[in-house]
Structure 1
Amino acid sequence: MPAPPAAPPRWLVPVVIVVVSIMVGGGLLARELYRLPEAAPDAILAQTSPARPLAEQPGPGIVELTPDAAAHPQNATVRGLLQTYFDSINNRDYELWKTAVTRERVQAKPKSTWLNDYRTTKDGSILVYRIDPVTDDELRALVGFTSTQDVKDAPAELPEPCVHWRLVLPLALESGAWKVDTVTGSTTPELSRC
């Protein structure tokens, strides 16, 4: 006849309880540490919406933020800057545009060129996906938006009346204010047809 199984040592049950308690507590602590911070109250968070028919493009001209972008400490500043930037294009207001961009960008795009480049452009469905720091006086904003324009004014690589854009806009601190800086050749925009 086999011997009856031995009873577990008395210390095993308390050790198991302590180990399980530590694991549960650690999991709860990790969840709190990695939770995204609450968005700032003035941030406009993007709402998921179905794709718009071509007749409703480019969509609203309001700059919205993803929760990730809204969690950045400069979210309100970046949102306000980009709102001015896109409003200036949509309203063909070169003087307003100059307040949103660096001096270098203004010098690279005189008024006559700027008015010609944006004469039929209308931007909308503007969404800031991310805001990343580069240095203390440089940020990068990953932005998506839709533009409508005459085909002759469309980007050469995608001559369409409606284009979805996704690009990184460099932002620079100039004279104490954030401005949209000159886009370098190291960033290539993603373009797709509406």
Structure 2
Amino acid sequence: MARWVLPVVLVAMIATAVGALVARQIYAEPETSPSVVLPSDHPLPPGEQPGDPTVAGTSDAAEHPLYETVRALLQTYFDAINNRRYDQWRTVVTKNLAKISPEKWRADFGSTKDGSIVVRRIENGPVNTARVLLSFTSVQDLEHAPYELPEKCIHWRLVLPFTVEDGTWKLDTGVTNLASQHEACEVP
């Protein structure tokens, strides 16, 4: 009679452990990342533009293996623009893009503040490249606005190219970032 007791006890222990693991998965609180947002079509009121300068992403973007790398690069990129830190900006862009002189860069971004920054999608390109669909809002003096849209507040939607340079992901130049969509912020 003692022969069958040990196997039964072992099976019961294993079943209990498996049941506990399954219950933990079912009843666990879902993990949420503070950098994941739901897209919104409701812009902020004018006095609150450009919005939070923290780079966030949609759940679609956050599922991509490059998301945290891209998010960190973009955070540094936008922080550099918002804080007028040319040297910081150069650390996250390719050598080709970094050819912009400090004077030209400051002339382009001299009063710009960016916020409401959302990585909407990340797609792999050819080897060591990726494209990132991004939206954000910028506020700036009219002299720093694009010549085709001289507005103080602009909503942007564009695709930015990323590439590996010297073993590190960097924001690159290319035709994708030339095809941006932008519109003036709504004024109530």
Q: Is the 8 A contact 1:43 1:65 kept in 2?
A: no
Determine the C-alpha separation between the residues in 2 that align with 1:116 and 1:158: 17
Give the aligned CA root-mean-square deviation in angstroms. Answer: 1.9
User: What's the CA shift for 1:146?
Assistant: 0.2
5+ residue gaps in structure 1?
A: 1-38
- Give the corresponding residue for 1:164: 155
What's the % identity of the aligned pairs?
Answer: 46
Q: Is the 8 A contact 1:43 1:76 kept in 2?
A: no
Q: State yes or no: 1:139 paired with 2:130.
A: yes
Q: State yes or no: 1:53 paired with 2:60.
A: no
Q: Is the 8 A contact 1:148 1:163 kept in 2?
A: yes
Change (3 A) 1:43 1:171: farther
Q: Is the 8 A contact 2:158 2:177 kept in 1?
A: no
Determine the C-alpha separation between the residues in 2 that align with 1:75 and 1:158: 31
Q: State yes or no: 1:129 paired with 2:124.
A: no
Q: Is the 8 A contact 1:69 1:129 kept in 2?
A: yes
Deviations 1:110-158 (A, max 9, x none): 1111011100100000000000000221000000000000112111111
> Which of the pair has more CA radius of gyration?
1
- Give the corresponding residue for 2:70: 78
Moved over 4 A (4+): 39-43
Q: Is the 8 A contact 1:89 1:97 kept in 2?
A: yes
Determine the C-alpha separation between the residues in 1 that align with 2:84 and 2:177: 28
Q: Is the 8 A contact 1:101 1:181 kept in 2?
A: yes
Determine the C-alpha separation between the residues in 1 that align with 2:98 and 2:31: 31
Determine the C-alpha separation between the residues in 2 that align with 1:186 and 1:69: 18
Q: Is the 8 A contact 1:40 1:70 kept in 2?
A: no
Change (3 A) 1:83 1:159: same
Secondary structure (helix, strand or coil) at the match of 1:100 reads coil
Q: Is the 8 A contact 2:61 2:119 kept in 1?
A: yes
Q: Which residue identity is paired with 1:157?
A: E
Q: Which residue identity is paired with 1:88?
A: A
Determine the C-alpha separation between the residues in 2 that align with 1:72 and 1:186: 20
- Give the corresponding residue for 1:119: 110
Determine the C-alpha separation between the residues in 2 that align with 1:137 and 1:40: 30
Alignment: residue pair count: 155
Change (3 A) 1:41 1:55: closer
